[in-house]
Structure 1
């Protein structure tokens, strides 16, 4: 039986929720109030994660697929459950598309996108062959390293005199409207609603009684750092530049300069992005693989399924958008309302309600 430690699950959730938000400005549409939108989003996100954890507690050792089958019946529950691995594979494809557009603009302008995205996918597939325990160990090693780099970046930016607190003024000068628009629906679904994928692994936790504390704590921890990234970007760049920049995290790293020695720390931005995208994409594909394996009753080690799932995500990512504007439009304007709100908020709310009023689980989470 595969077992995951509390620290490994905590690390995996934090890095998963960082995702691409460490590069793209989270809630940048809110301008200088983006940090407020980020803060409200992670607080509401913690409530959503608590709801997911409550479903897990009420349904004992069942996985994500098991929730739907138990509460909706075998036929309807199986039908609904199939929507989730499909959505996870599509979300993994969006990660591939992020790479396809980001790396030519920042680090590898002369390298064909198909080459570095294919290489990246091969690394993900290699980890999938190793199993979820390998991914969790990798996350446990990466988290303290990335946190140290983030804190170092904060110190360097402050010491170089690049941060201006007056760029945050006036707070809520444009009212709460644009903050609310960036909280609902994308702010709470893009990172926190998507975390329902973690339910595919929760039954592997070796101390299930701590699931709620670990998952909610990881969400609050990740959310604080996401809000910190927004604060750094706004106070370093100003509202207008922050809103217009595609990758503000790379831009602020160029501002770090101490005695003409420590400067242009673009490599840190690349490290953030590659590590967190790797974790998030691996979770997408692992969750899809585990759900499909349970739905089909396939063998535990089905390497053909791994290649099919990874290949599907790669094909989707390389063909879903012709340009970055189209990619962003779908991700910001269409996907949250059409896919994420129904799958990550409405359906789980129904399952939670059915779990509360249905027959209690005798085993619980011990």
Structure 2
């Protein structure tokens, strides 16, 4: 049985939460207060993470798709559990749709989208075939390097003299309404609600009792990272440009220019975004394969990799006709009608049922002891 360390689950959590969130800047509609909306989303997101980790503590040793049959019974629990691998595959397809728009626009202009998706999918398939330990070791070594690079990028932006803090004023100039529209439901579900995906991996962690603390720390780090770059995007580019730019982080790094020597670092940040998206997609794919393996009671989930890869390929290539439609679905439709019911509402119902069943079991035990 594969096992991963507590630091490895920390790095996987950070990669999952940051993922594609930094690519499009979901909080851009909040304008100069986008960074504040992200910080508030982080605070509320911690509550969602507490919900997920508490459910894991109440169902020790069980994965996400095993919680529902355990608490609702097989006839209701298994159909509900099947919703999650479908969600994982659809989310992975959305990441492919992100990448097929991002890479030709930044790193490889003119490259056919199908070639980009197939190339990344092959690497993901190989990684999942090799096992979660391989991905965990990869993120363990990669995350510190990427964060050092991100810090260097922030320092270079300040050194370039392009930061104008007046672009951030007035704070809350439009009131809290625009911020709340970002926080609920997109800010909570798109970044922090997705942490529920890791419930397919948590039983493999060597020190499961530390998962809650480590996941909360990872959530804080992810939120601060996303908020920091959102802060810099507004301070450098101004509110108007951020609100009308598809890739604000990419445009932000293009502003770095020091002594006509350090310039054109945009390709580097685009590569960073691709790496975050790749790891997030791999986590989704592993979660989908493992959940279907458990639901079908298959000994080796590797036989599922190729057919599920075909599903995600066709899903990713056909789910939207253009980037505008893709963003509209991802920000307005997907969080409200898919993520909200599956990562917040259904887990809350599951928590209530679990607590009731445990109290009932404790009461019965006391009655038996009295008898």
Q: Structures share a fold, TM > 0.5?
A: yes
Listed as ranges, the matches of 1:39-50 within 5 Å are 39-50=39-50
Q: Which residue of 2 aligns with 1:306?
A: 305
State the distance in 2 between where 1:228 and 1:21 align.
13
SS of 2:358's equivalent?
A: coil
Mapped contact 2:257–2:263 kept (Cα < 8 A)? yes
SS of 1:262's equivalent?
A: coil
Listed as ranges, the matches of 1:24-39 within 5 Å are 24-39=24-39
Q: Which residue of 1 aligns with 2:350?
A: 351
Q: Which structure: larger Rg? A: 2
State the distance in 1 between where 2:283 and 2:81 align.
17
Cα deviation 1:157-216 (Å, max 9, x = unaligned): 001111111110000000000000000011100111111100000001100110110111
What is the CA RMSD across the aligned residues, in angstroms? 1.2
Q: What is the CA distance between 1:12 and its match in structure 2?
A: 0.5
Q: Which residue of 1 aligns with 2:51?
A: 51
SS of 2:246's equivalent?
A: coil
Q: Which residue of 1 aligns with 2:368?
A: none
Listed as ranges, the matches of 1:153-164 within 5 Å are 153-164=153-164
Q: Which residue of 2 aligns with 1:12?
A: 12
Q: What is the CA distance between 1:303 and its match in structure 2?
A: 2.9
State the distance in 2 between where 1:221 and 1:102 align.
25
Whether 2:236 is the aligned partner of 1:236: answer yes
Cα deviation 1:295-349 (Å, max 9, x = unaligned): 000122x433011111111110001111111111111121111111100110001
Q: Which residue of 2 aligns with 1:124?
A: 124
State the distance in 2 between where 1:72 and 1:186 align.
29
Q: What is the CA distance between 1:358 and its match in structure 2?
A: 2.0
SS of 2:60's equivalent?
A: coil
Mapped contact 2:3–2:205 kept (Cα < 8 A)? yes
SS of 1:107's equivalent?
A: coil
Q: What is the CA distance between 1:39 and its match in structure 2?
A: 0.3
Whether 2:125 is the aligned partner of 1:133: answer no
Mapped contact 2:26–2:331 kept (Cα < 8 A)? no
SS of 2:233's equivalent?
A: helix
Mapped contact 1:13–1:218 kept (Cα < 8 A)? yes
Any stretches of 5+ residues in structure 1 without a counterpart? none
Q: What is the CA distance between 1:359 and its match in structure 2?
A: 1.8
Q: Which residue of 2 aligns with 1:64?
A: 64
Q: Which residue of 1 aligns with 2:367?
A: none
Task: Single out whichever of 330-339 and 241-250 deviates more from structure 2.
Answer: 330-339
SS of 2:82's equivalent?
A: helix
State the distance in 1 between where 2:273 and 2:284 align.
16
State the distance in 2 between where 1:168 and 1:128 align.
43
SS of 2:24's equivalent?
A: coil
Calculate the TM-score normalised by the size of structure 1: 0.96
Q: What is the CA distance between 1:55 and its match in structure 2?
A: 0.4
SS of 1:257's equivalent?
A: coil
Aligned residues: 361
State the distance in 2 between where 1:331 and 1:110 align.
25
Q: What is the CA distance between 1:156 and its match in structure 2?
A: 0.1
Q: What is the CA distance between 1:268 and its match in structure 2?
A: 2.2
Q: Which residue of 1 aligns with 2:175?
A: 175
State the distance in 1 between where 2:267 and 2:130 align.
28
State the distance in 2 between where 1:262 and 1:229 align.
20
Cα deviation 1:44-64 (Å, max 9, x = unaligned): 111101110000001111111
Task: Single out whichever of 258-267 and 233-242 deviates more from structure 2.
Answer: 258-267
Q: Which residue of 2 aligns with 1:186?
A: 186
Q: Which residue of 2 aligns with 1:329?
A: 328
Task: Single out whichever of 60-69 and 173-182 deviates more from structure 2.
Answer: 60-69
State the distance in 2 between where 1:22 and 1:290 align.
27
Mapped contact 1:26–1:226 kept (Cα < 8 A)? no
Mapped contact 2:95–2:316 kept (Cα < 8 A)? yes
